[in-house]
Amino acid sequence: MTSLEAVCSSLASIAPLRLAEDWDNVGLLVGNRRALVDKVMTCLTVTPNVVSEALEQQAGLIVAHHPLPFKPLARITSDSVAGEMLLRLIGAGVAVYSAHTAFDSAAEGINQHWSELLGLQSVQTLVPKAGEATVSTEPNDDRAALPIEGTGRLGCLAEPESLHSLVSRAACAVGATSPRYVGDPERKVSKIGLACGSGGSFLSAARRRGCDVLITGEATFHACLEAEACGIGMGLLGHYWSERFAMESLAKVLEATFPDLSIWASSSEHDPLVTLSV
């Protein structure tokens, strides 16, 4: 058994909460810090199926990427899906922790994972903020690489690659089943912007930084039109697929830190979007 506070402290070191966006709701959202836990489950989103799995497996803590609750609740009742899930979790003594945008931006967070999956060099943050370490060293630089913290990532491929090949490679890396793209599939790209989840709003930043393409989870129709108009490619992997893989990695990191605990990534959650074959 380990204190909930100890696990929370470890999570805060992996994804410092100061990196979270002002509008976000992060940290320990449900639970008693003094409680002891022996089972921890990670997931992308707390859903009724995830709650059922946590209760069946007697998890003491759910580490979810997306916060529950996300917005303030005036009441917690079974009249809403969020309220019913919270009642079930609280009744069973299951805590909920979310790092969300802090984990997106962390030095070992989701967007950094993406830069490594795609083999990018000279990685920087896509949206630099004052006081942050934003630039890594060149691969052959003798200096120690700097930790990178901040919103999104950008970097360069070792060799130019077609848009189609890049998006296909990104999808294969995380098992995305229905990737989409905007732009000429044969166009060669080399400077890549990254923004996991719903990252269409970072298109302007990618354009300012000179990116050839923005890889993200999802974007609005109008963001796609804007990308097409200004000549920036987009790779849309699906919100779920652009982030879920990192929650599986996080479970392994926590398992190494707390070997006495049973830690796993939810086996019941899935992408709610299904592609129709016609």
Residue 231 scores a pLDDT above 80: yes
User: What are the pLDDT digits (tens) for 167-211?
Assistant: 999 999 999 999 999 999 999 999 999 999 999 999 999 999 999
Q: What's the rounded mean pLDDT across residues 17-25?
A: 96
The string of pLDDT tens digits covering residues 125-138 is 999 765 554 555 44
Q: Tell me what pLDDT residue 101 has.
A: 97
Give the pLDDT of residue 277: 84
Written as one string, the DSSP assignment of the chain is -EEHHHHHHHHHHHS-GGGS-TT---EEEES-TT-EESEEEEESS--HHHHHHHHHTT-SEEEESS-SSSS--S---TTSHHHHHHHHHHHHT-EEEE-THHHHHSTTSHHHHHHHHTT-EEEE-SB--TT---BPPPTT-SSPPPP--SBSEEEEEEEEEEHHHHHHHHHHHHT-SS-EEES-TT-EEEEEEEEEEE-GGGHHHHHHTT-SEEEEEE--HHHHHHHHHHT-EEEE--HHHHHHHHHHHHHHHHHHH-TTSEEEE-SS---S--PPP-
Q: What is the pLDDT of residue 130?
A: 57
Superfamily of domain 2-102: NIF3 (NGG1p interacting factor 3)-like (3.40.1390.30)
- pLDDT score recorded for residue 241: 98
Q: Where are the domains of the chain?
A: 2-102, 107-241
Confidence of residue 257 (pLDDT cuts 50, 70, 90): very high
Judge if pTM exceeds 0.85. yes
What pLDDT does 91 receive? 97
- Do the domains spanning 2-102 and 107-241 agree at the CATH topology level? yes
Q: What is the pLDDT of residue 93?
A: 97
Structure confidence at residue 129 (pLDDT): 64
Q: Looking at the domain 107-241, which fold is it?
A: 3.40.1390
